[in-house]
């Protein structure tokens, strides 16, 4: 696992966007796994700016959704399908056909979970998966004590996650669904490169447990320690509880230029 400490969220977004641009140069039809929420927005903004400036060609890129609420109508503005279309697909100028995600409004949700796992495999797998992290250490919607071998499935959200997400629903927790479809940790770990961005002091405990704590289902993001190519990008506030912060700064400052993100 590589840990990169950056000054702020904007710098983190620019760094990851540069890594995505390099990937698209090597593999123009790369499948990008995207996360929602406020944390990854600097990534999408920076990548969109590169596309509009002609610095990167994303026309053949494909996008895969990480998770979806169960029960929201497909066109609901806070469904993750709508969010990804609005924040990623449209700004990058991609065709809606380049987008894939689980069907949270399906009559048979369990079948929809199995179908999405299979669709990811049929697409050749995710090349780079962007991840955020919850204050309790969850990734995707794999809440604490999720199986580290889990596949795409239905999960019940913790009360803390619903509280955290109420800001997207007019601060009304009653509007936040109780259930979601999420890629499981086992599914996430199949991506070729995992990139987690965390910003703000509120994520500091989760980041420390993920990077320096034991691998444990209680902190689902700690499973990134098992991946051969995982990158954790954190701002100074989110890095504030890392015991090895100075070491991480030293290793990044002396990183070979050919190694890339």
pLDDT for 258: 81
Pick from 116, 124, 142, 130: nearest CA to 223: 142
Where does the chain show beta strands of DSSP type E?
Answer: 2-6, 31-34, 62-65, 67-69, 99-100, 128-131, 153-156, 179-182, 193-198, 230-235
* pLDDT value, residue 232: 98
How far CA 157 is from CA of 114, 133, 140, 144, 231, in Å, comes to 20, 14, 11, 10, 26
Q: Please give the pLDDT value at position 196.
A: 98
As to burial, measured by CB atoms within 10 angstroms (0-12 exposed, 13-18 middle, 19+ buried), residue 216 is: middle
pLDDT at 240: 98
**Distances, alpha carbon 86 to alpha carbons 41, 92, 226, in Å:** 11, 10, 33
pLDDT, position 102: 94
Question: Which stretches of 178-244 are DSSP H helices?
Answer: 185-188, 204-212
| Tokens linked to 70 | 């169960």
Decide: 35 and 131 in contact? Cβ < 8 Å.
yes
Residues of the chain with pLDDT under 50: none
Catalytic residues: 67, 136, 138, 143
Sheet containing strand 67-69, strands side by side: 67-69, 179-182, 153-156
With H, G, I as helix, E, B as strand and everything else as coil, classify residue 55: coil
Residue 248: what pLDDT?
98
Distances (CA, A) of 57 to 10, 31, 222: 22, 14, 33
Q: Give the pLDDT confidence of 5-41 residue by residue, as tens digits.
A: 999 999 999 999 999 999 999 999 999 999 998 999 9
> Which pLDDT does position 222 carry in this prediction?
98
Asked if 154 and 113 count as a contact pair (C-beta separation under 8 A), the reply is yes
Alpha-carbon distance of 254 to 181, in angstroms, equals 41
Q: Indicate the helix (H) or strand (E) that contains 247.
A: helix 245-253
Q: Which two tokens stand for residue 201?
A: 């002091």
**What pLDDT sits at residue 230?**
98
Take residue 198 and report the two structure tokens written for it. Answer: 């965390």
What confidence score (pLDDT) does residue 158 get?
A: 84
Output b/e per residue, 222-240; b: 16+ Cβ within 10 A.
bbbeebeebbbbbbebbbb
> How far, in Å, CA of 17 to CA of 65, rounded?
18
Structure tokens at 98: 């380049």
């Amino acid at each position: 696992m590589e840990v990169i400490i950056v000054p702020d969220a904007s710098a983190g977004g620019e760094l990851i966007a540069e890594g995505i641009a390099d990937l698209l140069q090597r593999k123009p039809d790369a499948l990008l796994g995207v996360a929602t929420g406020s944390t990854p927005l600097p990534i999408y903004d920076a990548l969109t700016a590169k596309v509009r400036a002609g610095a990167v060609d994303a026309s053949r890129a494909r996008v895969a959704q990480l998770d979806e609420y169960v029960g929201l109508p497909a066109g609901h503005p806070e469904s993750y399908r709508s969010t990804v279309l609005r924040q990623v697909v449209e700004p990058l100028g991609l065709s809606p056909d380049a987008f894939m995600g689980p069907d949270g409004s399906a009559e048979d949700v369990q079948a929809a979970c199995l179908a999405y796992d299979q669709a990811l495999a049929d697409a050749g797998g995710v090349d780079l998966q962007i991840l955020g992290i919850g204050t309790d250490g969850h990734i995707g919607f794999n809440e604490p004590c999720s199986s580290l071998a889990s596949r795409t499935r239905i999960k019940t959200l913790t009360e803390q996650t619903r509280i955290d997400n109420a800001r997207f629903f007019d601060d009304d927790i009653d509007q936040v669904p109780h259930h979601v479809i999420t890629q499981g940790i086992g599914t996430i770990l199949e991506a070729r490169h995992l990139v987690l961005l965390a910003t703000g002091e509120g994520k500091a405990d989760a980041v420390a447990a993920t990077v320096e704590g034991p691998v444990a289902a209680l902190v689902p993001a700690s499973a990134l320690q098992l991946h051969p190519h995982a990158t954790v990008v954190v701002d100074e506030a989110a890095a504030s509880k890392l015991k090895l912060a100075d070491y991480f700064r030293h290793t990044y400052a002396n990183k070979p230029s050919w190694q890339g993100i």
